[in-house]
Structure 1
């Protein structure tokens, strides 16, 4: 049976004790359920291949209307929905299984990139007052982008998932925005995405 929303976050990595993306997801999911939505939450490992495999399996199992994958971007100043996933792995640090691919494709012979199918500009516009956010033009080349690309490739190539939309949101570290505030923002962005089929024509570009 199809569900409304699949949310994912990541386990800790690079020696950290927590991953703010999962902290936000695990707090947002019950709030969305209280508001009448059928929601599944999944914690993904910070591992190339494995994380994407688990996400693909979950999407096929639950057939959600919406998939929002979240990850940590520790150096960013706000909540940043991603515009595009690119078909490259180039790891600055090893993943949690020790893999450190360089200049490898996420999907062999896949297209260069995929755009998010979430209304990313409307989601940013809906952030609560005082919560920083912006559209991001790059999800990096680490496991976050890997999961994002695998998700968009799945949605683009599996006809059985034609009604599912998805994308990726990076969240900042807890010293920038506390996880409870990020969770509230995530709830609002999910609700906006569910009711917004066509994104708003707002400025969301960047000079660099």
Structure 2
């Protein structure tokens, strides 16, 4: 089995992105699966093109894209991506779309095909915080998740895929407001490792209520 794990480059003025920095720290093999690590640009559409090329080159069974969600306090597993680009800040090539569909003829949303309840539980069972999120935002993280799932739906139906958000790393919050959450790269990498472990070992998700009230 092969698992493709991607992480974004730095954006928004930060010098590092904990997504790819943590991905690089992951083992090269997890539960017998080969782990393929790829950095992607924080650029609308271009990031998903890099993912598509990596899929064509490596033919993975699972694709997990990882991105930074500054302000979140734990690793979060995204359940849904929406067909909308609404950029509060420009991407790394200056693109700042708003009120724009990602795929003109695509569905309003795609749900992850990863066993995110099992993945969340495995991270938590190892003493690390994790939860399921119901919004991936409207920036490049949502863009890459939606386009990945569109690729899976239309071209690579045997692949399972989805998206994970990670918090700031500690060095990123030094000049941010006191109390801004962060997580060490080691803990992020461990969380991603336990998540991949569960994805490899669970083709179907476990049952359980992970909903929110707001």
Normalising by the residue count of structure 2, what TM-score does the alignment of the two structures yield?
Answer: 0.91
Report the Cα offset of residue 84 of structure 1: 0.4
Instruction: Identify, as 1 or 2, the structure richer in strand.
Output: 2
RMSD (Å) for aligned C-alpha atoms: 1.3
> What is the alpha-carbon distance in structure 2 between the residues aligned to residue 192 and residue 94 of structure 1?
35
Corresponding residue number in structure 1 for 2:74: 78
* Matching of residue 47 in structure 1 with residue 43 in structure 2: yes
> What is the alpha-carbon distance in structure 1 between the residues aligned to residue 30 and residue 147 of structure 2?
30
Report the Cα offset of residue 201 of structure 1: 1.1
Corresponding residue number in structure 2 for 1:13: 11
Corresponding residue number in structure 2 for 1:141: 138
Q: Which runs of 4+ in 1 moved over 4 A?
A: none
> What is the alpha-carbon distance in structure 2 between the residues aligned to residue 100 and residue 194 of structure 1?
36
* Matching of residue 131 in structure 1 with residue 123 in structure 2: no
> What is the alpha-carbon distance in structure 2 between the residues aligned to residue 149 and residue 162 of structure 1?
15
Corresponding residue number in structure 1 for 2:178: none
Q: Note if contact 1:8-1:22 (Cα within 8 Å) is conserved in structure 2.
A: yes
> What is the alpha-carbon distance in structure 2 between the residues aligned to residue 51 and residue 10 of structure 1?
8
* Matching of residue 202 in structure 1 with residue 186 in structure 2: no
> What is the alpha-carbon distance in structure 1 between the residues aligned to residue 127 and residue 103 of structure 2?
39
> What is the alpha-carbon distance in structure 1 between the residues aligned to residue 38 and residue 204 of structure 2?
27
State the secondary structure of the residue aligned to 2:132: coil
Q: Note if contact 2:79-2:133 (Cα within 8 Å) is conserved in structure 1.
A: yes
Report the Cα offset of residue 130 of structure 1: 3.3
Report the Cα offset of residue 34 of structure 1: 7.1
The superposition leaves residues 118-140 of structure 1 with CA deviations (integer Å, 9 ceiling, x where unpaired) of 00111110015431110000000
> What is the alpha-carbon distance in structure 2 between the residues aligned to residue 111 and residue 165 of structure 1?
18
> What is the alpha-carbon distance in structure 2 between the residues aligned to residue 130 and residue 80 of structure 1?
15
* Matching of residue 33 in structure 1 with residue 39 in structure 2: no
2:84 to 81, 88, 104: 88
Report the Cα offset of residue 63 of structure 1: 1.4
> What is the alpha-carbon distance in structure 1 between the residues aligned to residue 41 and residue 33 of structure 2?
25
Corresponding residue number in structure 1 for 2:100: 104
Normalising by the residue count of structure 1, what TM-score does the alignment of the two structures yield?
Answer: 0.93
Unaligned 5+ residue runs, structure 1?
A: none
Q: Note if contact 1:56-1:150 (Cα within 8 Å) is conserved in structure 2.
A: no
